[in-house]
Structure 1
Amino acid sequence: MKTPLISGLLTLFLLSVISAQEVTYEEYDLDNGLHVILHQDNNAPVVTTSVMYHVGAKDENPEKTGFAHFFEHLLFEGTQNIERGEWFKIVSSNGGRNNANTTQDRTYYYEVFPSNNLELGLWMESERMMHPIINKIGVDTQSEVVQEERRMRYDNSPYGRWREQMFIHLFKKHPYRWQTIGSLEHLANASLEDFKLFNKKYYVPNNAVLVVAGDIDREKTKKMIEDYYGPIPKGEEIQRQTFVEDPITSTIKAEYHDPNIQIPAILLGYRTPAQTNRDAYVLDMISTYLSDGKSSKLYKKLVDDEKKALQVFAFNGSQEDYGAYVVGALPVGETSLEDLKSEIDGEIEKIKTELISEKDYQKLQNKFENQFVNSNSSITGIANSLARNYMLYDDTSLINNEIDIYRSITREEIMEVSKKYLNTNQRVELNYLPEEATAN
């Protein structure tokens, strides 16, 4: 059993680690609007070059969904100076690795190279921004890739469509109601001109942040950045729509039949505030306390103690405009979905009416301290955090002080925020069932 002394020493150790690892950085803008962030760390001969574009699924036309994710693939097809099919060969043959990912709010590309190949990474990302080739062969090729991804991750995967089904009920007006994979029908019906216009609008320097992190010489790096990115023309200013959801005031009951499963699931989803809202940080702690991992209250109760659930799982996603907290469970034996729902509600009610214990509160603080340390423990992690904090939070300094927000959250605040958001009349109740089954 961990004594208070050991717990206190662990906290002091984490605090000392955090204070010692402060991330230094420099940021500035090019004349074309590209925001640049540099982080110099010469401890290892490695450098990450990354570009985050402020475009995701929420920026799509409702009749033309899936474009942002499609471009995550399409912009690897080649450029005026990188032949089709050569991108990954160039990276690997020069000792590097690369990847990309898309969310509903942004798209992120990055390369990791030995630091003597910094210029190569900068050139490749500038090529992607300035000289992409968007043609029929590339679109047709990536259409096949995206179709296969849809089949593997959504259509033929057990529980693969739970998020899709939950979000179409949580959001009625906001583009968060569709997933980044979008509609294959929309992509198939899109013209080549549709893709070119999407690229011209969003993949421009004034809608992007370039992060270079690792073993660099800052002044030499600035010169290379100006040489490669300075000539890229500024795009037109992007006018973004604002979508405001009506509050959920009565329980939304939904049902979906998945042909790929044999065990049903209950999912309870709550719409939560934007990630910059302080309540979103409190909800991070609440979701961790209730449902994150085998030490969480719901797992211990439903899986370990009462043996009513085969698994308890949770999704807590804070995004640029709204977030969602979804908790669910798979029953064991004759346990009904209604019984699981009642048990989950019982634990939620406790956190709304009673202060969590000092011991549990300290465990939460230690867990968030540890996560914060880990997020800044690699050059790739630092690059990602710098880009995300600048673009989606408008506050690059969060890389060093976001943990202070979690430290300042009180037990009383946890109780009050639970009362504000985690109510039965403000949620979606989704019975996720095998084909032909009925909820019990």
Structure 2
Amino acid sequence: MKKTILSALAVSSLFLNAAAQQVKFTEYDLDNGLHVILHQDKSAPVVAVSVMYHVGSKDEQTERTGFAHFFEHLLFEGSKNIKRGEFMKLVSSNGGQNNANTTQDRTFYYEVFPSNQLELGLWLESERMLHPVINQEGVKTQNEVVKEEKRMRIDNSPYGKFTEKIFGHLFDGHPYRWQPIGSMEHLNAAKLEEFIAFFKKYYVPNNAVLTIAGDIDVEKTKTLVKSYFSEVPKGETITRKKYELPEITKEIIDTAYDANIQIPAIFAAYRVPGMESRDSKVLGMISSVLSGGGSSRLSTKMVDEKKTALQVAAFNYSLEDYGAYITLALPNKNTPLNDLLKDIDDEVARLQTDLISESEYKKLQNQFENSYVSANSKMLGVAENLSNGYTFHHKDANDINKQLEVIRSITREEIRDVAKKYLNKNQRVVLYYLPKK
């Protein structure tokens, strides 16, 4: 009887925790098409102001790559009302933090302020959208910034070029084949009119979502949003090309050489469904089984027991159109790369054949629940997750409240079947990543 009561309490607690994690929000559109999402949380006097533009490197022309990432930098140059170089100073001098990032699919700008500076955050983002200064001086300055970033993050970074090689094969025929930072030659060759045209096409209210999360008064915030953003003109409707890539049916093997490394690495990558797919969520769980922490299968086998690997990992890089499931290992004590690949393949094959244990399954559920709670513990995380839901999940910001439900519904059988469907040797790219002598 006692055990039954304790079990009932545990189940009850689980559902209470799930209910407690529901993110409440208000959403609506301005007349110019800007989608607005407001989340009130008065637990701390902090507010996150963010704008996600549905534009990434996927939207670039083949001979003009790097534009979306370039604008991540360029739109900090200033506006008609913000002097050049003053944007970040305005943020820091008022107790805030700000940044931006670009992927293949979207660009995300944000400020986090004390909540009494909400209006400043709205003004800054409206300035960025309404009338930024895009001139030759700013383009030249940011060109040098991007070149330095490429040198640091890719050219001179150990293992910095592996995605370039892998994505070139996985996504041949799709814009995902190039990296968001793009080509410096393309940026150098671009004329000012091309940058201005790119801005006018993509950085428009009807291609963006403004998300505000934190210590706000919803009705007052609506009034502020209208006053700062309603005058921004609506842009032309954007039509995106749909890509249907042929299946990979034969293993692709390639080699890369890197002067920045002394220890080689082995990569195996598979093209998988995009982020809207349920299978993408399952692949994320498979990653955790294989390499989610020190007690995961690959780490236990290859790092702890056999001591053949210094590092081993598996992760699902999920994008809008497709995803890349990547496994990798760095050898210990000159272990041959093919031995590492075999050990990884053996663990994948075990997943494809046998159901994971009940204890592993429970651990997996706990890991993802903790990850979900952690991601939504800060206002910036809530803002980004709400924006992602609207941008990538059929304009459904409430996707933020469905994620746990989906994870909890994934079965051990699904984990086995999805591994069997996508993680096969004839569907992958194997990359030998070697020191350049």
Same fold, TM-score > 0.5, yes or no: yes
Match of 2:401 in 1: 400
Identity, % of aligned positions: 61
Question: Contact 1:355 / 1:415 at 8 angstroms: preserved in 2?
Answer: yes
Deviation of the 1:315 alpha carbon: 3.2
1:204 partner letter: V
Does the C-alpha gap of structure 1 residues 64 and 11 become closer, same or farther in structure 2, counting only changes over 3 Å?
Answer: farther
Partner SS state of residue 127, structure 1: helix
CA distance in 1, matches of 2:403, 2:109: 24
- Residue-by-residue CA offset, 1:1-22 (whole Å, 9 max, x unaligned): xxxx999988865553332132
Does the C-alpha gap of structure 1 residues 405 and 72 become closer, same or farther in structure 2, counting only changes over 3 Å?
Answer: same
Matches within 5 A, 1:184-333: 184-333=184-333
CA distance in 1, matches of 2:371, 2:243: 32
Question: Contact 2:290 / 2:313 at 8 angstroms: preserved in 1?
Answer: no
Partner SS state of residue 242, structure 1: coil
Match of 1:434 in 2: 435
Match of 1:179 in 2: 179
Match of 1:387 in 2: 387
How many aligned residue pairs are there? 432
Flag as ranges the 4+ runs of structure 1 deviating above 2 A. 5-18
Question: Contact 1:11 / 1:366 at 8 angstroms: preserved in 2?
Answer: no
Matches within 5 A, 1:31-42: 31-42=31-42
Partner SS state of residue 402, structure 2: helix
Question: Contact 2:284 / 2:315 at 8 angstroms: preserved in 1?
Answer: no
Partner SS state of residue 397, structure 1: helix
1:99 partner letter: N
Does the C-alpha gap of structure 1 residues 246 and 6 become closer, same or farther in structure 2, counting only changes over 3 Å?
Answer: farther
1:237 partner letter: T
Question: Contact 1:14 / 1:370 at 8 angstroms: preserved in 2?
Answer: no
Deviation of the 1:376 alpha carbon: 1.0
CA distance in 2, matches of 1:8, 1:286: 30
- Residue-by-residue CA offset, 1:178-207 (whole Å, 9 max, x unaligned): 111100111111111110000000000000
Partner SS state of residue 83, structure 1: coil
Match of 2:139 in 1: 139
Match of 1:414 in 2: 415
Question: Contact 2:298 / 2:313 at 8 angstroms: preserved in 1?
Answer: no
- Residue-by-residue CA offset, 1:210-251 (whole Å, 9 max, x unaligned): 011111111111111111111110001111111111100000
2:125 partner letter: E
Partner SS state of residue 298, structure 1: helix
CA distance in 2, matches of 1:15, 1:124: 41
Moved more, 177-186 or 15-24: 15-24
Partner SS state of residue 428, structure 1: strand
1:349 partner letter: A
Question: Contact 1:47 / 1:215 at 8 angstroms: preserved in 2?
Answer: yes
Deviation of the 1:334 alpha carbon: 3.2
Partner SS state of residue 64, structure 2: coil
Does the C-alpha gap of structure 1 residues 171 and 82 become closer, same or farther in structure 2, counting only changes over 3 Å?
Answer: same
Partner SS state of residue 152, structure 2: helix
Deviation of the 1:282 alpha carbon: 0.8
CA distance in 2, matches of 1:242, 1:8: 49
1:83 partner letter: K
Match of 1:85 in 2: 85
Question: Contact 1:267 / 1:429 at 8 angstroms: preserved in 2?
Answer: yes
Does the C-alpha gap of structure 1 residues 12 and 180 become closer, same or farther in structure 2, counting only changes over 3 Å?
Answer: farther
Partner SS state of residue 85, structure 2: coil
Structure 1: runs of 5 or more not aligned: none
Match of 1:425 in 2: 426
Does the C-alpha gap of structure 1 residues 328 and 12 become closer, same or farther in structure 2, counting only changes over 3 Å?
Answer: farther
- Residue-by-residue CA offset, 1:51-98 (whole Å, 9 max, x unaligned): 000000100001100000000000000001101010011111111111
Does the C-alpha gap of structure 1 residues 96 and 11 become closer, same or farther in structure 2, counting only changes over 3 Å?
Answer: farther
1:30 partner letter: L
CA distance in 1, matches of 2:323, 2:167: 10
1:163 partner letter: T
Deviation of the 1:293 alpha carbon: 2.5
Does the C-alpha gap of structure 1 residues 270 and 59 become closer, same or farther in structure 2, counting only changes over 3 Å?
Answer: same
- Residue-by-residue CA offset, 1:333-358 (whole Å, 9 max, x unaligned): 23111111111111010000111111
Moved more, 264-273 or 389-398: 389-398
TM-score between the two structures when normalised by the length of structure 1: 0.96
1:192 partner letter: L
CA distance in 2, matches of 1:95, 1:52: 23
1:167 partner letter: F
Does the C-alpha gap of structure 1 residues 85 and 351 become closer, same or farther in structure 2, counting only changes over 3 Å?
Answer: same
TM-score between the two structures when normalised by the length of structure 2: 0.96
Match of 2:354 in 1: 354
CA distance in 2, matches of 1:51, 1:365: 32
Match of 1:364 in 2: 364
- Residue-by-residue CA offset, 1:277-308 (whole Å, 9 max, x unaligned): 11111111111111223221111101100011
CA distance in 1, matches of 2:144, 2:8: 55
- Residue-by-residue CA offset, 1:15-50 (whole Å, 9 max, x unaligned): 533321321101000110000001111222111111
